[in-house]
Amino acid sequence: MADSNAWWRGAVVYQIYPRSFRDSNGDGIGDLPGITSRLGYVADLGVDAIWISPFFTSPMNDFGYDVSDYRNVDPVFGTLDDFRTLVDTAHGHGLKVIIDQVISHSSDQHPWFEESRHSRTGPRADWYVWAEPRADGAPPNNWLSIFGGSAWTWEARRRQYFLHSFLVSQPDLNFHNPDVREAQLDNLRYWLDLGVDGFRLDVVNFYFHDPELRDNPAMAPNEPLPFGLTRDNPYAYQKHIHDITQPRNLPFLREIRELLNEYGETVSIGEITGHDPLGILAKYTAGSDKLHMAYTFSLLTDDGSPANVRSVVGEMESRIGDGWPCWAISNHDVERCVTRWGAGGDPERLARVVVALVCSLRGSVTLYQGDELGLPQAVVPYDRIRDPYGLPFWPEYRGRDGCRTPMVWSADAGTHAGFSAVEPWLPVDETQRRMAVSVQRQSNASTLSSVGRLLAWRREQPALTNGSFEMVDAGEDMLCWIRSSERQRILVAINLTGKKLKAAVAATTGAVPMKESGFSGRIVDGTIVLEPYDALFARLS
């Protein structure tokens, strides 16, 4: 395959949520100069690239995922010159720069929508998804918004409904219109010309809808729900087979890939959610003509059991073919991993072994800011909740604010953990403040130090960055596999449990533990021995 030696295969990408990374101007909100000031720290971690969540002009109803100008920086984050400086500084540190692109929908304050909502006959009349009401005035079909309620809202000026898969203020663009596709490709080109190295594509399987607007069928009462959904959200009551993941998506992904190919070693990372996400990922990344890689929420669920991880990884391997996954354990949309998976256990040791887990799988890796510190989910009181997704479903669902609180740079309470000189937009969690960068840098035994050593060591192991994958049976609780390249074979064993594990594995013959990985797993007479929350990396002959 032409991409077999590309930089992004096996790369580690560090996700930055700009509102919460570092505030440089004292307004309580993180910004681009704040990111630039900490790029040395990011580079020292041993990652290959940064992914910056949206910083574009926006009314911030969904904190940047509602874009009103695709070609500018929102003043709260800085200026275009600040972005140019960030890119130059990142490249100077050897870091690639990947930015979010939210092209499936815009803000209702985007000039495109302002024009579209006023006229059925103007140049942009069908740039969004408009539909006639039913005879009784009801919405055209039963499609639902992820954020609750109907996905259709009435616009009196056109006497039609418009589609919004998320907030009412986030109308869906009509990708069946070739002018819309060309406009969004031009917006991607704009940022490529400014020097970015690729895009993380938000909800990449949401671009197209069924033009016949057919109703979605109901979910069976006992049918497993897609990631993140519970029966508290009506969206979970439908199979979303007509509103998302349409066949027409694939040709448009090829258009995006053709554009990226014009700019050399650029990359696309797709976000995939919905029914059968692993199957969609395999289809969207197959060959060399669509997405470079994609991630699903399959390891971002509450089930961190060895059985579930083995099932997800095994299914991915059986279905991925020549596609390429990007693994994640946390991001800006989900509860932090050590809280999701670590109830009653040792969160510090768990934090290290889950990084080892994703860094040992076949694929690339995304780490979310704070993963390297082992941060738990922050507790945000109800009166400080800002997430528009969390408020309607409180208290059964507490929203995404707990994973979006400020990055903890120091233990100093006066500077709000080194994030800002003033009260931040979300409160600093006191438990997290005690785990700050300044504290962990003082100890070689800290999570930060351990993760840094692991990433530096992994970068030099071709079997781990771009080798093949073979699952090994090591019993119910131990995860085990072999990664192989032309020059190297490594046996990997992972213990996500709080108990000591032993497993007799034939593949241990001639295996030599690689202690430089930072983990203490050992082999005794052909038996792998792992302490609680430990791992083994062993060189095979």
In the prediction, which pLDDT does 227 show? 60
Residue of 136, 212, 262, 525 marked catalytic: 262
Pair 256, 267: CB distance under 8 Å? no
Q: Is 262 a catalytic residue?
A: yes
Compute the distance between CA of residue 12 and CA of residue 98 in angstroms, rounded to an integer.
Answer: 12
DSSP E strand stretches across 319-391? 326-328, 364-368
Identify whether 306 is preceded by a cis peptide bond (ω within 30 of 0): no
In the prediction, which pLDDT does 201 show? 98
Query: Does 12-104+178-209+243-456 match 467-539 in CATH topology?
Result: no
C-alpha count within 13 angstroms, C-beta hemisphere, residue 344: 3
Q: What is the CATH number of domain 467-539?
A: 2.60.40.1180
Average pLDDT across each block of 10 residues of the chain; the chain has 541 residues. List them in order. Answer: 80 98 98 98 98 98 97 98 98 98 98 97 97 98 95 98 98 98 98 98 98 96 74 90 98 98 97 93 97 94 95 96 96 95 92 98 98 96 85 77 97 93 96 96 97 98 97 97 97 98 94 97 97 98 84
Domain borders along the chain are 12-104+178-209+243-456, 467-539
List C-alpha distances in Å: 239 to 29, 218, 233, 277: 38, 6, 13, 13
Write 466-469 long-range contacts (CB < 8 A, 24+).
Answer: 466/4, 466/5, 466/9, 466/10, 467/362, 468/362, 469/317, 469/361, 469/362
Pair 3, 288: CB distance under 8 Å? yes
In the prediction, which pLDDT does 333 show? 92
Angle, alpha carbons 192-197-202 (nearest 5°): 85
Compute the distance between CA of residue 84 and CA of residue 87 in angstroms, rounded to an integer.
Answer: 5
In the prediction, which pLDDT does 390 show? 76
Identify the three-state secondary structure at position 516.
Answer: helix
Q: Is 315 a catalytic residue?
A: no
Write 62-66 long-range contacts (CB < 8 A, 24+).
Answer: 62/166, 62/167, 62/169, 62/170, 62/388, 62/389, 63/19, 63/386, 64/18, 64/19, 64/100, 64/102, 65/102, 65/166, 65/170, 65/202, 66/102, 66/105, 66/106, 66/107, 66/108, 66/167, 66/169, 66/170
Pair 267, 198: CB distance under 8 Å? yes
Instruction: Report the CATH fold assignment for 12-104+178-209+243-456.
Output: TIM Barrel (3.20.20)
Residue of 172, 202, 243, 534 marked catalytic: 202
Q: CA dihedral in degrees (374, 63, 87, 96; nearest 10)?
A: 50
The closest alpha carbon to 83, from 150, 168, 16, 172, belongs to: 16
In the prediction, which pLDDT does 1 show? 42
